[in-house]
Structure 1
Amino acid sequence: MKKAQTLIGSKISTMIFSLTRIKHEVKFFIFLLLFTLHFTLFTSPASAIVDPLSSPNNKFGIHIIGANADEASPAAALVNSSGGDWGYITVLIESKNRDQKAWQKFFDDLRRRHLIPIVRIATEPVSSPISGQAFWKLPYEGEEVAWADFLDSLVWPVKNRYVVIYNEPNHALEWGNKVDAVSYARVLDKTITALKSKNDDFFVLNAGLDASAPNKLPFYQDEVSFTAEMESAVPGIFNRLDGWVSHSYPNPNFAGSPDDYGKGTVWTWEWEREFLEGMGVKKLPIFITETGWKHAEGIKYDSRLPSVELVSRNFKEAFTKCWIDSAIVAVTPFLLTYQEEPFDRFSFKKHTGESQNEKILPAGRDILGVEYPDYYPMYQAIQSLPKVSGRPAQENKADLSRSLVYSTIVAGENYDMSLAFKNTGQSIWNEYDPLELRAIQGGETFNITPVRAAGKIEPGNEVTLNVRLKASEPGKQKLSLQLFAGSKPFDDKIYQYDIEAKSPVALQVFASLPWKKDFSGEYLLKIVSDVMSATAKVILDQNGISAPLEGKYLLPDYNFDFTLYKPFYKPKTVGLKLKPGENKLDFGTLEPDFLSALTNPKEFWRLILGD
């Protein structure tokens, strides 16, 4: 991108970098003389599971500093405007900030706002013990495993997990205070392996290189020789990538014309694509994660730099003439907001003097659908450009967490069976097409209609769907249920059950009382099982026998506990596995409960005398 500078990172490291005017390098055809073709040219657009260009894609994006709603909200309002949806953000994660809960909360917020994250991993800045100058540490041995474990622990908003492996390593300050193409190539190779071994959905991207850097080792190395050394150190390293990151800045001094062409311009991405193809690298989708103009505004006005009005026109021209190639997946200009030097002149947000962690807008002011006086004109300019309503691939995944499905039922009766599904995927259920549970087999036999989930169900949450069924005739049938999103199956899981409809269950209660000859009277029968709990009044005749009781909703072949109650007698419980037809419940003799009768002398003497 530029000499002795990174355009993203901690405040400590960025403050020491200076912005330097960079001269244009030699033309592309000279570069071709440096290489011999080693590989076959591939035409696959991406090696990741999902080609981001195979579905509607909104390439508009923005670079942000803070992983919080204060930046995500105006970012979404910018990139998802004028017909757009599912735009991109580029965001940094430093090694010291591998906080799973915090980043999961941020990713969940991005999902709701329809923002696709491009994550750039970073180490941490340290100061030289000699010069005191800050630089980014080299990754420690095995850090690629720590990154893979952490990034794989997150539920990403979309299927492709875009990860940029560090930043501008052809700058010494970005790579352990010494340019080392061989070292970076090996780290990149190991990190790709670590990520892919965790999950094939990791869409691995190179560190963007500074195309305008001079060849002044060990502090800087031009992109041509740097990539040549990488290829020599790890043959085929670029063919292991899923996409190519370009830092297409309008140099010199980040103030060039959008009409300038080639290396060191807003067209740098195309120059890089051509020399990569010349090396035999497969065609890679392009991610312009850094680009943009310095403007005159900031903490101190600088009349030597372009006005924000000119920068606005430049962005419009670049987006409508330069960055329209179908190979470009995302363009995330640098930078939504930065309120201090040295990046205040790249900031889309006006300088207000507020701290980076304060609210961008006053309390109570809705950021959606309002004007943005807090932003320079390039914000509104990009916001007004027509965009595509993106629809990135998301993983639909449901786990059946609980179910109450009966293996036997009574023919002719209605039953409600509940199935609880947990959203373990990436999509928000019911956000687009309605989520329904449908019978794909046995639906007519059991008179089942589709059951629709209510409301939106985010990843990690559950929804319970109650299926009502009724079998008209006795017999054994198969029931197969499947989730659908609109007209298409939600996933490939089918939930199959064997259900047998049987004849109704009937109960006949038998009981006696000590010292009595007449057992007639009203009793209470409590019925308990894993699937139900109910109570019923039972009338016994003088012989202690009830009339047959129809158990409409008692399930054949299930175990039930039956407890018989009568005032001033101890309750008695019997267990029974029910069968179709008549079932005998013999409680034997109920024992008197003298203790409960002490407060009622009349009943107490009746118990003793058997009256």
Structure 2
Amino acid sequence: MSFFRYVFFFVFVFCFIPKTVFAVVDPTAVPNNKFGIHIAVADEQDLKDAAALVNSSGGDWGYVTVVIQENDRDTGKWQDIFNTMRKLHLIPIVRIASQQQGAVWKRPSADDAQGWADFLDSLNWVVENRYVVLYNEPNHAQEWGGEVLPEDYAHVAYTFAKTLKEKNPDFYVMLAGLDEAAPSSMPRHEDAGVFLSRVLATKDSASWGAVLDGICAHAYPNPGFVGSPDGWGKASVRGYQWLQDIFSQGGIIKKMPVFITETGWDQSKVGEETASQYLLQTFQNIWLSDANIVAVTPFILNYQSDPFLGFSWKKKEADSFYTIYTKTQEFLKQKGAPKQREKIEILSSLPTTFTAESKIGFALRIKNKGQSIIDAFDGYKIAVLQANKGFEEVISPIVLLGPGEETNISVFIKTPKKTGYTKSRIVLKKNDEQVSVIAPWNRRIVPKINMVVFVKLLLGFTREVGGYEVQVYDQRERIIFKRADMNTVNGKISLKDIPNVIVGESYRVVILRPYYLPRQTHVQLKETNNEVRVKPMLPLDWNRDGKWNWKDMIWFL
């Protein structure tokens, strides 16, 4: 009987207890810079100011919360914004929004989910995790079409989350941040705990757990945005802890990292210096020490009018900032290392067959199909890994190749003496660690090739004539072979052991002889039976400059 108990326990634990699942990357498991900022308009200057703030004092790859409204879904515009954020090392947290209709925000519909998923998936995101927050404070009537409707929000949010996940599993989905200080006064407001509990009750915990990845929190120091940095409870800077309990009570027991996308003190009430002191005190004593917090993006970098002027870190109608900006800049931060998709695609054909004991160069056209900017100064390089030693490769560095961009690289190889097959792979490395495989590259080494050139002098001997020079150029117009003082026998020049050849490629063969105009042709060189034929050579280069012109006449006269 004891044996069957163990079997039952094993099956129950491994089959029925929910397991922690992350979208792509657990953001708490990689080096992470928690500092961020919320911005109202994602223009270039605000993004630069945000980067100068969150990536200062040792920090890198901080966060920015941005809002995309349904009437602003311009792929070109937002791709440009994402590309700017990529260059500035800013990780976007996207809060989607409907649009204002008078004093309220239009109530979203579940029917909008596919359109949003298509739009968001059309963008090349900055990092693997595509952080998306589903709307804003729906426990306020004005944020949900004029009425608080927990079950309606639940239906819309679940449909959106499920649709996003089905579109691309990289979407990292969070429910809306709530006003955690709101009273229960329906239909205008609902207590955040009551609202969230009713939302979670619309589905079983497994369904919600399958589509949600993290918790979005608005951890304001209430009441009145003037509360203590040491406060406790749902209406405090620790409000996210209370939210975690609500999710657990709703049966979602998997790990849910926290994103505090709004917080901050009203400087018009507590004063500039106090707001700065309180924020950094909270970072130091609470948020930075909590391993489950991923990002804190205080509200707001730049807002030049009411009702949020008191929260703006940038002074009104000025290019300067309040103390809170400069003090946060000075605060020591961590260098983040978010996961990005790093992928290079080779657009041109890879040569596979080479002559032995050769030095060969060729160009490859490549395209950045990933998310990162491939730059040698950031430690990126293309390398060749091979099972059998003998080859040597030198590949030109890549500089500032952004996603979607193409460039040419030069590849130089030195082949071994031994003929046969070699298996290898072309890989992308960063700081000497492989990050992706670009392509397999199975190479074959063959003996140096032979070639017969058929030549004929328009005025001259046909049996045995000397003084010829043969030159062979590759597709990049570099000379790979030259042999002088060659003789023809019965109109043929026999060349043996030609190195530096990519078998199957086209080469330009040039025939020279003093006082004769050069002849050339293009030929695809094979392993064997290489025959080259040129037009009859004309004795018209009397001044030996390689061409026929009036100078030859002067020389002749």
Same fold (TM over 0.5): yes
1:281 matched to 2:252: yes
Name which of structure 1's ranges 448-457 and 187-196 shifts more when overlaid on structure 2: 448-457
Structure 1 CA distance, aligned partners of 2:461 and 2:447?
39
Name which of structure 1's ranges 551-560 and 417-426 shifts more when overlaid on structure 2: 551-560
Equivalent AA in structure 1 for residue 187 of structure 2: P
1:307 matched to 2:271: yes
CA drift at 1:277: 1.5
Q: In 2, are the aligned partners of 1:512 and 1:544 still within 8 Å (CA)?
A: no
CA drift at 1:519: 10
Name which of structure 1's ranges 188-197 and 224-233 shifts more when overlaid on structure 2: 224-233
1:343 matched to 2:308: yes
The one of 362, 367, 381 equivalent to 1:422 is 367
1:221 matched to 2:201: no
Would you say how many aligned residue pairs link Structure 1 and Structure 2? Answer: 523
Structure 2 match to 1:363:
none
Structure 2 CA distance, aligned partners of 1:445 and 1:562?
29
**Unaligned regions of 5+ residues in structure 1, if any?**
1-39, 128-133, 297-304, 355-359, 361-373, 604-611
Structure 2 match to 1:136:
105
Structure 2 match to 1:47:
22
Structure 2 CA distance, aligned partners of 1:385 and 1:260?
22
Relative CO higher for 1 or 2, CA cutoff 8 Å, sep ≥ 6?
Answer: 1
Structure 2 match to 1:322:
286
Structure 2 CA distance, aligned partners of 1:465 and 1:228?
57
CA drift at 1:211: 1.4
CA drift at 1:200: 1.1
Equivalent AA in structure 2 for residue 151 of structure 1: L
CA drift at 1:116: 1.1
1:246 matched to 2:246: no
Alignment TM-score, normalising by the size of structure 2? 0.83
Name which of structure 1's ranges 551-560 and 266-275 shifts more when overlaid on structure 2: 551-560
Structure 2 match to 1:264:
235
CA drift at 1:99: 1.4
Secondary structure at the residue paired with 1:206? Answer: strand
The one of 385, 389, 412 equivalent to 2:331 is 385
Structure with bigger helix share is 2
CA drift at 1:540: 9.2
Q: In 2, are the aligned partners of 1:559 and 1:576 still within 8 Å (CA)?
A: yes
Structure 1 match to 2:119:
150
1:163 matched to 2:132: yes
Structure 2 match to 1:332:
297
1:90 matched to 2:65: yes
- 1:54/1:537 Cα in 2 relative to 1: closer, same or farther (>3 Å)? closer
Secondary structure at the residue paired with 2:221? Answer: coil
- 1:229/1:63 Cα in 2 relative to 1: closer, same or farther (>3 Å)? same
Structure 2 match to 1:470:
414
The one-character-per-residue Cα deviations of 1:156-208 (angstroms, maximum 9, x if unpaired) are: 12111100011111111111122111111111111111211121111101101
Equivalent AA in structure 2 for residue 232 of structure 1: A
Structure 1 CA distance, aligned partners of 2:316 and 2:127?
33
* Percent of pairs with identical residues: 34
- 1:506/1:222 Cα in 2 relative to 1: closer, same or farther (>3 Å)? same
Q: In the TM superposition, what are the counterparts of 1:100-115 in structure 2 within 5 Å?
A: 100-115=75-90
Structure 2 CA distance, aligned partners of 1:573 and 1:160?
55
CA drift at 1:587: 5.3
CA drift at 1:61: 1.1
CA drift at 1:269: 0.9
Secondary structure at the residue paired with 2:311? Answer: coil
C-alpha RMSD of the superposition? 3.6
CA drift at 1:508: 3.2
- 1:517/1:188 Cα in 2 relative to 1: closer, same or farther (>3 Å)? closer
1:503 matched to 2:448: yes
Name which of structure 1's ranges 484-493 and 456-465 shifts more when overlaid on structure 2: 456-465
Structure 2 match to 1:451:
395
Structure 1 CA distance, aligned partners of 2:208 and 2:353?
57
CA drift at 1:42: 5.3
- 1:537/1:382 Cα in 2 relative to 1: closer, same or farther (>3 Å)? closer
Equivalent AA in structure 2 for residue 326 of structure 1: A
